Structure formats: C-alpha cells, structure tokens
Amino acid sequence: MNSITQRGLKLFLALKHSIAVQELEGRIHYHSTALRKCLRQITRRVTAVSFVNRASKSAVSSGVHCTLQELLALRNEAKALVFSRPKASPHDHSSQFMSIFRGRGLEFDTVRFYQFGDEARHIDWRVTARTRKPHVKLFHEERERSVSFLVDQTQSMHFGTRQEYKAVRAAKVTALLAWIALECNEKTGGLVFDEQRTQVFKTRSGEFGVLPLLQGLSNLEPRSSTSLISARNSDDSLLLKQLQHFAHFVSRGSLNFIVSDFFCLLNEDNEQTKKTIERLLYDLAKKNDLYLILVYDPFETVALPEGRYRLSNGQRLLDIFFSPLKQRRSHSELFKKRLHYLDALAKRTGYRAFAMATNAPLAESVGQALTLGAGQTNFKALMKTNNRLRLASTQHD
C-alpha cells in the first residue's frame, strides 16, 4: 500500500506540475501576443501620422480643382482615424463598418460575460481562469459589406467662399470614407454625376474599388455656364433619376452615402416628384444604412450685410449690390428651408444626415457623422446659429 500510495502521489504531483507549466505558458503566450499587437498598432499610428504630415506638405489644395494626389493623401488620414477609434464593446453598434452578421461564424470577434442560455462549448476557459468569472467567445462571419457612394458634382456644387468649393469638399469626403472602408476590408463603388454625364464604378474589393472612384472624382471639372444651364433646363428631375439609378446599383444590407448640397430639392415644384424622391430614400434607408452628407458653404447660412459683392465663374466677373433686407436674406432662407425639409424627412425615413461646411475639419467632421444614430441629424445646432445670426442682422438694420 505504501509503495502504491507513493507512486500515486508522485503521479499527482507530476500532473499538477505539468498543468501549472501549461497554464504559465498560456499566460505568457497571451500577454506576449497582446504586447506585440499593441506595439504593432502604435507603430502603424505613428507611421500614419507622419504620412499625414508629409502628405499635407506635398499635396496643397487650390480649393477649386481636386487632384488625384490630394485624394490619395487622404488614405493616411483614414488610417489615423481608424487606429484612433477605441475598440467597440460587444454591445456597441456605433461602428457602421462592422459586419451586421453576428453569431457562430468564421472569425473570432471578442469575449463577453457568460449569460444564461449560452452554449458551454463557446466558453473561453483561459479568460475565465484569469478573471475567475465565466466568459464566452463571440464570432462574426467573414463577409464583405458593400459601401456605395452617390456624389453630386452639378453646377451648384462648384461654388465656394471659404477654403474650397463644395464639389472639392464632396470629393474629399467621399475619398476619406472610401479609404476608411478599405481599412475595414469592405468593397467600395458608386456613382458620380453632373448635368451631362454619370460615371458608374462597380463595387469591388480593395484598391480596385477605391482607385477608379478617386480617379473619376479628380477628373471632374466645372463646365461652361452655358452648357450647364442648357443641360439643367433639359432635365428638371436630375436628382430623381440619379436616386433611381442608385437604388438599382446598391445591394441589400450595404452602407450607402449620398454626398450633395441637395440644392435641386428646392427646385422640384412637382409634388409627385418630391413624393417619389421621399419613397426612394425611405426604401434605401429601410433596406440599407443610409447617410446623407449635406455640403454647404458658410456664405449660405447668414444674411448678408448691405454692400456690393463681386462674383466670378472663373471666366467672367459680376458685381451685385444688396440693399433690402429681404433680398439679403433670400439665400439663407432657402438654406434653412432645405435643412427643415431634410430634417423632417430623416425622422420619417430613418436615414442619417450630417451638414458639413467647406471650411470644417475634414477628419473630425467625418468621425462625427459616423456616430449618428438612425433618424438623427446635426441640423438643430446649425439652424439655431442661423436664426441667431439672422436676428443679429435684423437688429443691426
């Protein structure tokens, strides 16, 4: 009995020692992997920031035309924006680029506390042993989500008094969002249109989807005023046609961005056309995640002081004298009307809308736009500012 007991005790101690060694090796492997991942992210972030500084010095924007080099340089800002965002918790759905399919999939996502009804085979025993509380693994399917863009480059977009044209800001917003989608391994594509043509870029993976889109945005330049006016008069429902084209272009469950100043909405006097546009936006928001990025110039938001103003289309100069208050308020009233219409429509349809000025910080504004919830807009503060500035101009008069 003594020899058997001693032999069993030796086997027990050897087994206990091997278990302790395996647990220690597991902890060392876990912490070394986490440390390497952290160092890799820090290195990428420092590299991205340095790239941004070099790109900002090399790619100087004229504000009138958008070059391909400027759009390519935005990739570094997208990297800095992606790496600076904190990792989302299992219950945090603020990241719109994460796959909507969650369950027993192919790729490990994260861990969370065990809840009643979870399967025992999903328990993460290492995390459970380390924290002394049961945790389960979560997975998400390795599916690429399409990110599509509808970019407006019509006549009203070729205007600006602060920093750059609205068309240039729309191109940069689209480029930055496309690079963010690439960093999140999503497919990209879209439509870029003006009064004379519509460029279609098929949704493709990687840089094969981003680069043709950026090339199309950089190739667009302002047309002559005569050709633009004739094209505009020949087609009063341009936005409706483009939305119908875009609705057939996108796939179900995709993430969609419409970048425009939506100036043509106020020119639609046909109520039937407006109802059709609303129905298209409702269908897009119901089947997909839909964002409306309204690009505006600060000139549009305030009533002008009395005086003489000089306008130019790059070829001719025009001097305008504004004296009556009603005349000086007309453009700001139109802008306010546009905001009210899109804000009310967002509450009914459920899309997200974000107003971005041409002189606003680009990366910061895009980051704020991606945090909006369904049916939310940032128009409220802008409309309050607009009312306050108009009241001050009235008192001044």
Question: Per residue in 53-102, pLDDT tens?
Answer: 554 444 555 677 888 888 998 988 888 777 655 444 444 444 444 443 44
CB proximity list for 380: less than 8 A, separation 6 or greater:
343
In a domain, 367, yes or no: yes
In a domain, 274, yes or no: yes
In a domain, 385, yes or no: yes
377 lies in the same domain as 259 = yes
Model pLDDT, residue 312: 67
Helix (H) or strand (E) holding 2: helix 2-58
270 lies in the same domain as 207 = yes
Mean pLDDT of the chain: 76
**241, 235 in Cβ contact below 8 A?**
yes
185 lies in the same domain as 124 = no
Length of the chain: 397
In a domain, 13, yes or no: no
Two tokens at 190? 């879209």
Count of beta carbons in the 10 Å neighbourhood of residue 336: 19
Question: Per residue in 344-381, pLDDT tens?
Answer: 888 888 899 999 999 899 988 998 888 888 888 888 87
259 lies in the same domain as 318 = yes
**160, 359 in Cβ contact below 8 A?**
no
Greater pLDDT, 12 or 76 = 76
State how far the Cα of 212 lies from the Cα of 240, in Å rounded to an integer: 25
Among residues 83, 114, 142, the one where a domain terminates is: 142
Q: Is the pLDDT of residue 340 over 50?
A: yes
State how far the Cα of 295 lies from the Cα of 360, in Å rounded to an integer: 10
Model pLDDT, residue 122: 85
317 lies in the same domain as 332 = yes
24-29 long-range contacts, CB within 8 A, separation 24+: 26/126, 27/130
The CATH code of the domain that includes 183 is 3.40.50.410
342 lies in the same domain as 210 = yes
pLDDT band, residue 249 (cuts 50/70/90): very high
314 lies in the same domain as 380 = yes
Q: Is the pLDDT of residue 186 over 80?
A: yes
Q: Which amino acid is at 40?
A: R
In a domain, 40, yes or no: no
Query: 56 — phi, psi (to 5°)?
Result: -65, -30
Number of domains within the chain: 2
Model pLDDT, residue 97: 46
Question: Per residue in 128-162, pLDDT tens?
Answer: 998 888 988 887 655 667 899 999 998 888 888 87
Beta strand 352-357 pairing with 289-296: parallel
117 lies in the same domain as 150 = no
Greater pLDDT, 370 or 224 = 370
* Domain coverage including residue 119: 102-142
119 lies in the same domain as 246 = no
118 lies in the same domain as 250 = no
pTM as predicted: 0.67
Model pLDDT, residue 235: 46
Among residues 112, 142, 172, the one where a domain terminates is: 142
CB-based burial label for 146 (10 Å; 0-12, 13-18, 19+): buried
**96, 352 in Cβ contact below 8 A?**
no
Q: Is the pLDDT of residue 281 over 50?
A: yes
Model pLDDT, residue 325: 58
Q: What percent of the chain has pLDDT over 90?
A: 17
In a domain, 245, yes or no: yes
In a domain, 42, yes or no: no
* Mean pLDDT of the region 257-271: 78
Two tokens at 13? 């101690």
132 lies in the same domain as 165 = no
SS3 (DSSP) at 45: helix
188 lies in the same domain as 330 = yes
| Distance (Å) of CA 68 to CA 151, 174, 369 | 16, 13, 24
Model pLDDT, residue 192: 93
| Secondary structure (DSSP) of 334-345 | HHHHHHHHHHHH
In a domain, 166, yes or no: yes
